[in-house]
Structure 1
Amino acid sequence: MARWAGLPLLLCCLGPLLCGAAGRSRAPREAEPGAAAPGLPPGRAGSDLSGQYWRYLACRLWREGCEQPQEEGSRESQGLEMDLSRRLHGQHLAKDVVLRAMQGFLETTQPEKALALSFHGWSGTGKNFVARMIADHLYRDGLKSECVKVFISLFHFPHPKYVDLYKVQLKKQISETVQLCKQSLFIFDETEKLHSGLLDAIKPYVDHYDSINEVDYRRSIFLFLSNIGGNIINQVTLDFWRAGRAREEITMEYLEQHLCMELLESTDGGFAHSHLLEENLIDFFVPFLPLENHHVKLCVRDAFLARSLPYTEEVLDEVVRMMVFLPKEEKLFSAQGCKSVAHRINYFLP
């Protein structure tokens, strides 16, 4: 009983600290998402506390688990690297760029600005998948965390005539989230459909300001997901295939110049002409290559494994044959990527 004697007093004294720790990065999961921490009821502050913090608390109370932990940012990067390698298929460039960007950002004590990544490629190539993966490694509750805000262009901002109202609401949500969680994650899906006014409203939060209205946004992460650039990414990948070269030979330097050119020439929405691009506030443009037959087959396998279902190579091939592949002559790239795979395996269940 003596080991518990100081718990109520310590938790009382740490109340403000607990509330302020909600936005910290967490270690790879050590409990089920949303599970209550020992000694505390489920609550907003507890749901996003890092595993490292609870080990620290146990160490101070009972001198258990007091071994020197790894740097938290390094551990997050290692977990993300493993997940990207195991679950993201056919995306050697995206894996490398995302990992390097996240690793450098998380391990920097005081970043100069918020991290801004722009994901580009066809639907189903893994843009949302990677965004979800990042959220899962940063926060105990993943996308459900109060530190994460996801905005879908035509869902959250459907009417151009209300853009001024949307700007006020968007700024308010960003400000409130960062005040709750110093390291927040903002995901903008279908960015090419966002009104340019909304994109420009985001600009100050990813710029090089120490603070805005006494709030520091430099530990925040902004992800912009877009189909813009998908055509040039696909064309470059197809040209490499026709030349008998492996897609893994495509370098970021070679593809980025083509991607940036298409972005600047794009007439889709205001993204290409927003201050985010004009003032070079996007830190990395991340290309997602079109998926080939064997990549889709790996996605099908993952879908069976995720549901603990048995499968055979013949069944995997059969599911892949149901998919549409382009262009018409080569039938090389999946038109939907891996997007509908999880539903298609239902046709092969007993």
Structure 2
Amino acid sequence: MGQGRLPARLGLACCLLLLLLGGSGGLGSRGMPRGPWEEEQGPVAEGGPWGRARYEAVKKHLGAVGALSKQYWQYLVCKVWQEGCEEEEEEEESSPSPGLEADLNGQLHGQHLAKEVVVRAVQGFLQSPQPQKALVLSFHGWSGTGKNFVARMLASHLYRHGLKSKCVRVFISLFHFPYHKYVDSYKAQLKKQISETVQLCKQSLFIFDEAEKLHFSLLDAIKPFMARYDNKGQVDYRRSIFLFLSNLGGNTINEVALDFWRAGRAREEISMEFLEQRLRLELLEPAENSYAHSHLLEENLIDFFVPFLPLEYHHVKLCARDAFLARGLPYTEAALDEVARMMVFVPKEEKLFSAQGCKSVSQRINYFLP
């Protein structure tokens, strides 16, 4: 903070505090609060109970003014110096809101399946008076197709502070659990963090990014939190939501989308029933992924597999439009086309799908800034 701004802010704080005291009422003729000695100087001081009552009233009033002044001083310190700010109490649980569906419809492009499944699953779960287990969703698709975007949007609709809420925990596989030799320590820490969050918040949200890179024993370690509630433990985790974000299954999803396009069929004709079976088969392949080696699939702990389709040219343009609007910048169709042309499209023959989805689109519009 600059040297010149500190006295100014201090003066502002002091002036506001003096105004608070000056407008509180109960002041003497010289603008100062009456002390108990002033009551005793008058002829009624010897009046016994009446003088004592006045003394107690003034004492009580001064106490109230002091408490109020302290409260406002703490408020000023928070606003002026950003210190001593107490975090607002977090709502533990969110009621179902049509706002989530409206935001997904307006801001998530090219993902009719993801919109439908997420809205139906989340609203149905929140409306249930007593769910039998935690809600577990597994997001699959290429990078940049909207998996993290939907996770952030869900957090912002469930909690006032979104991802910063004390009721939300985000785990990134290679960042939080990088070394397999420490997996036993990771397991203990992970179970402890989940248990503490569930005890703190009746409605908790856990997000696992790069889920396919998690050690399978970590997934098995948290199975009890996602399984049906056995009522043996003291912590009730049935109101929790688990999101697993993974690039796994992206190839299968893209092949289906490409086949529909080659057959002249709209991507909106792709159904969950048609795609989910193929997605499950890929997840069960004995490859280097946590799903195949854990027991999540065979015990049916994942409630919904949510496919994110590859994005086409016009979807990228919509993402560019949103990026311009988010910055309050004007745009033209020519500018949106230019941003879209900056992206790499595959396969080599058709150049149909953006290889990066909408990732980096917001950075691309920097070329159009004055």
Q: What TM-score range do you get, normalising by the shorter chain? A: 0.7 to 0.9
Partner of 1:175: 195
Q: Structure 2-normalised TM-score? A: 0.76
Partner of 1:125: 145
Partner of 2:91: 49
Offset at residue 275 of structure 1 (A): 1.3
Equivalent residue runs for 1:168-317 within 5 Å:
168-211=188-231, 213-317=233-337
- C-alpha separation between the residues in 2 aligned to 1:296 and 1:232? 21
Matched, 1:325 2:345: yes
CA contact (8 A) 1:228 1:263 kept: yes
Offset at residue 73 of structure 1 (A): 2.9
Q: Do the aligned partners of residues 104 and 122 (structure 1) sit closer, same or farther apart at CA in structure 2, a change above 3 Å counting?
A: same
Choose which of 53, 73, 95 in structure 1 pairs with 2:95: 73
Q: Deviations over 1:28-63 (max 9, x none)?
A: xxxxxxx99xxxx9534x34237xx9xxxxxxxxxx
CA contact (8 A) 2:137 2:243 kept: yes
Q: Secondary structure of the residue that 1:278 maps to in structure 2?
A: coil
Q: Secondary structure of the residue that 1:336 maps to in structure 2?
A: coil
Q: Do the aligned partners of residues 84 and 212 (structure 1) sit closer, same or farther apart at CA in structure 2, a change above 3 Å counting?
A: farther
- C-alpha separation between the residues in 2 aligned to 1:266 and 1:122? 20
- C-alpha separation between the residues in 2 aligned to 1:178 and 1:256? 30
Choose which of 134, 147, 151 in structure 1 pairs with 2:171: 151
Q: Tell me the amino acid that sits aligned with residue 141 of structure 2.
A: G
Q: Tell me the amino acid that sits aligned with residue 207 of structure 1.
A: A
Q: Deviations over 1:279-329 (max 9, x none)?
A: 000000000000000001000000000010111110010010000000000
Q: Do the aligned partners of residues 180 and 239 (structure 1) sit closer, same or farther apart at CA in structure 2, a change above 3 Å counting?
A: same
- C-alpha separation between the residues in 1 aligned to 2:154 and 2:286? 28
- C-alpha separation between the residues in 2 aligned to 1:130 and 1:327? 26
Q: Which runs of 4+ in 1 moved over 6 A?
A: none
Q: Tell me the amino acid that sits aligned with residue 103 of structure 1.
A: Q
- C-alpha separation between the residues in 1 aligned to 2:151 and 2:301? 19
CA contact (8 A) 2:284 2:291 kept: no
CA contact (8 A) 1:210 1:216 kept: no
CA contact (8 A) 1:47 1:141 kept: no
CA contact (8 A) 1:47 1:140 kept: no
Name the Cα RMSD after superposition. Answer: 1.8
Q: Tell me the amino acid that sits aligned with residue 112 of structure 1.
A: Q
Q: Deviations over 1:126-151 (max 9, x none)?
A: 00000000000000000000000000
Q: Secondary structure of the residue that 1:86 maps to in structure 2?
A: helix
Q: Tell me the amino acid that sits aligned with residue 220 of structure 2.
A: D
Q: Secondary structure of the residue that 1:255 maps to in structure 2?
A: helix
Percent sequence identity is 74
Equivalent residue runs for 1:18-167 within 5 Å:
43-44=86-87, 46-49=88-91, 73-74=95-96, 76=97, 78-167=98-187
Q: Structure 1-normalised TM-score? A: 0.80
Structure index of larger Rg: 2
- C-alpha separation between the residues in 2 aligned to 1:342 and 1:277? 36
Q: Do the aligned partners of residues 130 and 212 (structure 1) sit closer, same or farther apart at CA in structure 2, a change above 3 Å counting?
A: farther
